[in-house]
Amino acid sequence: MVESIPKMNYLFTIYILLAFGSTSLLAQTTISGELTDSQNQPIVGANIFLKGTYEGATTDTVGFYRLNTRLNGPQTLVFSYLGYETQEQPIELNGQSILRNATMKVSINRIEEVVITAGAFEASDEKKSIILKPMDIVTTAGATADIAGTINTLPGTQVVGESGRLFVRGGNDFESRTYIDGLQVNNEYQSSLPNVPSRHRFSPFMFSGTIFSTGGYSAEYGQALSSALVLNTKNEFLQNRTDIGLMSVGLDAAHTQVWEASSLAVKAEYTNLAPYQGLVKQDFDWVKAPENFLGVLAYRTNVGKHGRLKVYGTGSTSDLILNQSNINTGEVDRIDLKNRYWYINSNYKGLIKGQWTVFGGFSFTSNKDIILPNTQQLTDKQSSLHLKAMVTNEVHQSLSLKMGTEYIYNQNQFRFNPETSEEYISTLRGHLPTFFAEADIIISDKLLTRVGVRAEHSSLQEQYTIAPRLSLALGLNNGSQVSAAYGQFYQSPQFEWLRDHKNLNSEEAQHYIVNYQYVNKHQTFRIEAFHKEYSSLVKFQGPENQQTISNQGEGYARGVELFWRDQKTIKNVDYWISYSFLDTERDYLDFPQLATPKFFSKHHASIVYKHFISSLRSQIGWSYLFASGRAYHNPNLPGFNRQRTPAYHNFSVNLSFLWKSNVIVHASASNVFGFDQTYGYEYSSQPDDQGIYTGRPIKPGADRFLFLGIFITLTKENILNQLRNL
């Protein structure tokens, strides 16, 4: 969808380059191998580290690990996983690659390959499942290397094309929150105008793992009624390199510098859609095509032998001007949007006496939107600070403990300068101190439980909340298991409602989840059922011109979801299939009764296919997304939200070709068959002289989007053929 492209491509270059990039480094030792149990089954998410240091790795879905270190001489390699006996092996580091496989034994009274899976799709998290690697995000056709775009191919999500954001299990996009290294991110999507979609701001290749939880998630995370997207940044960068990208929508350059105990990566990018829109017809009336400048910095350094300090920052400035027809006046509104954004995240993680893992960090977000509709001006500035400290420890063979505290400060300043009245200014400041604790308890060799609690105090609402969390996992035979989760969740209302109604309480949701999952070396099957109850939602009451706002809103969401991923049946092929059934209704905001919100479909399905052709030095892929019609309200007909849009279809393809050892050519096309896509309908607020409300469909700015890019990587050897690792 072409209107989303300016938010898309500013991250694209580093994705493709890193996809084929080399990970070799002179004077560096690579230790790799497979970790299995006594039944020769892979152990997923185990810790492998050098004793007395912070050099480590985790095993993937097939039990494989790779550890890169610059240490030399005799060391001790440790294999550790909850429920198994810790294993130590002496090892000599001399700059040569080392292969070390290991078999771990189940501890007495310890759990046997049982993990909490209810509500979670994760990568690189010790006790979860369903790997979604950065490469999965980059190579998914139609997702255009967007984190949210790829996650929208998983069960529990919905395609809301006019937004481009995550909508999960009956919740709107505001109810899904993003965290980087456990620290809060605000305004994680680039700013946009109504019915013009935005994208996630962050590059998947800056992260080693992506944790997507559709409900029942850890007590460590709060202020999200529907889902948590947790991104864990890379521990280090391994090679000096310079990357250059020439794209149909702009250009970028990046450089990575590696030292003995630290590394620094920087990137600058410029995108401008004007040339592309000059060649491809647009249905939107752009006065100034979206233009964006971006800068990124990531610094890593070891602190002694037991800790690592990370700093990550990004800043961007974007501008666009669009003429939009006003359905109420019949006139054209000229809307100028300027966005200024920056985010910084710094954290330290280390070991105390080899037992306690300590974490401390902060994040700060600043986002400023300046909107100029015609001759008016609206300024919306949001700032947030997040401080966090946490400790974790396996205090006993049958018990691991996590506990911490955090403080969140939010500030919102809203200014509106209308033509005919006085300037309106609203400033909100909120403090949210929090305590959380969570324990994993092994009840038997087949049963694991996780118990947690989160306590918060909101200064804006003068409200204390206590949210319990509980999960269970029961291991069955042949690698299968059943899991269940329950959780209570709170979230402060959006600033636009709190500005004039500070007496509002937090909105609430309760999650009930049960699933079955089977995993073997290259295949995953899961089926999950859920029920969600909403309460204390923001609700308008009274006549339209004298509305009051309260917490009288309510709702529910329930459904069943299926997921199948297969990397085994067809050689060099990876594919997954997902399906979601959703029944949801709400009575909130201006709804007159319980009704299905306009941003959800009852049926949602996707197929993602990737084929790796080494002989042709290329990778091809395609994806198909389907969604049944979404609800909308036609004021010319009786009832509320009873109408349905046409079904949604999208078939997309992509191709990556290794032209030279250090040059990649990438091409992609979305909605290649040109399916007509109608996201909904909007109507005038008042009827015309014949008593008819004027309506029009909400559609994308173009039927399809075509992309072409050439990506060059410069290193000492200029040899970056890693196609076999895709």
pLDDT tens track for 185-197? 999 998 888 888 8
pLDDT (0 to 100) of residue 118: 62
pLDDT tens string 293-304: 999 999 999 888
Residue 361: pLDDT above 80? yes
pLDDT (0 to 100) of residue 123: 31
Q: How confident is the model at residue 330 (pLDDT cuts 50, 70, 90)?
A: confident
pLDDT (0 to 100) of residue 12: 38
Cα 319 from chain centroid (whole Å) = 25
Query: How far apart are the C-alpha atoms of 589 and 591, rounded to whole Å?
Result: 6
- Among the residue ranges 40-54, 403-417, 579-593, the one predicted with the least confidence is 40-54
State phi, psi for 148 to the nearest 5 degrees.
-65, -35
Q: What is the mean pLDDT of residues 68-86?
A: 83
Query: How far apart are the C-alpha atoms of 523 and 62, rounded to whole Å?
Result: 10
Q: If we measure between CA atoms, which residue out of 472, 474, 500, 470 comes closest to residue 488?
A: 470
Query: How far apart are the C-alpha atoms of 67 and 100, rounded to whole Å?
Result: 11
Residue 113: pLDDT above 60? no
SS3 495: helix
pLDDT tens string 479-493: 788 899 999 999 999
Most confident of 293-307, 371-385, 614-628, 633-647: 633-647
Residue 470: pLDDT above 70? yes
State phi, psi for 41 to the nearest 5 degrees.
-95, 140
Q: What is the mean pLDDT of residues 233-238?
A: 77
Count the neighbouring beta carbons within 10 Å of the beta carbon of residue 690.
5
In which element (H, E) is residue 230 found? Answer: strand 227-233
pLDDT (0 to 100) of residue 50: 86
Query: How far apart are the C-alpha atoms of 538 and 587, rounded to whole Å?
Result: 9
pLDDT (0 to 100) of residue 2: 35
Q: If we measure between CA atoms, which residue out of 596, 600, 516, 599 comes closest to residue 560?
A: 516
Q: Compare 721 and 614 and report the one with higher pLDDT.
A: 614
Q: What is the mean pLDDT of residues 610-624?
A: 89
pLDDT (0 to 100) of residue 85: 78
* Mean pLDDT, rounded, of the chain: 85
Kind of pairing, strands 102-103 and 47-50?
unpaired
Q: Are 413 and 437 in contact (CB under 8 A)?
A: no
pLDDT (0 to 100) of residue 106: 67
Q: Is 566 exposed, middle or buried (0-12, 13-18, 19+ CB in 10 A)?
A: middle
Kind of pairing, strands 29-36 and 102-103?
parallel
Residue 124: pLDDT above 50? no
Residue 57: pLDDT above 60? yes
Q: How confident is the model at residue 119 (pLDDT cuts 50, 70, 90)?
A: low
- In order of their start, the domains of the chain are 2-20+120-725 (2.40.170.20)
Q: If we measure between CA atoms, which residue out of 77, 75, 84 comes closest to residue 44?
A: 84
State percent of the chain over pLDDT 90. 48
Amino acid letter, 5: I
Structure tokens at 152: 């929208």
Amino acid letter, 134: P
pLDDT (0 to 100) of residue 72: 86
Q: Alpha carbon of 314 to those of 185, 267, 324, 342, 379: distances in Å? A: 12, 9, 31, 6, 22
Kind of pairing, strands 47-50 and 73-80?
antiparallel
Query: How far apart are the C-alpha atoms of 97 and 68, rounded to whole Å?
Result: 9
How much of the chain is in helix, strand and coil states, percent to nearest 5?
5, 55, 35
The residue assigned the tokens 């990575």 is 256
Q: Compare 306 and 311 and report the one with higher pLDDT.
A: 311
Query: How far apart are the C-alpha atoms of 25 and 61, rounded to whole Å?
Result: 26
Q: Are 548 and 540 in contact (CB under 8 A)?
A: yes
Strand partners, 346: 311, 362
pLDDT tens string 380-421: 999 999 999 999 987 777 888 999 999 999 999 999 887 667
pLDDT (0 to 100) of residue 130: 39
Query: How far apart are the C-alpha atoms of 38 and 501, rounded to whole Å?
Result: 61
pLDDT (0 to 100) of residue 529: 96
Structure tokens at 530: 């859920």
Count the neighbouring beta carbons within 10 Å of the beta carbon of residue 154.
20
Q: What is the largest CA-CA distance in the chain?
A: 88
Q: Are 648 and 626 in contact (CB under 8 A)?
A: yes
Residue 203: pLDDT above 90? no
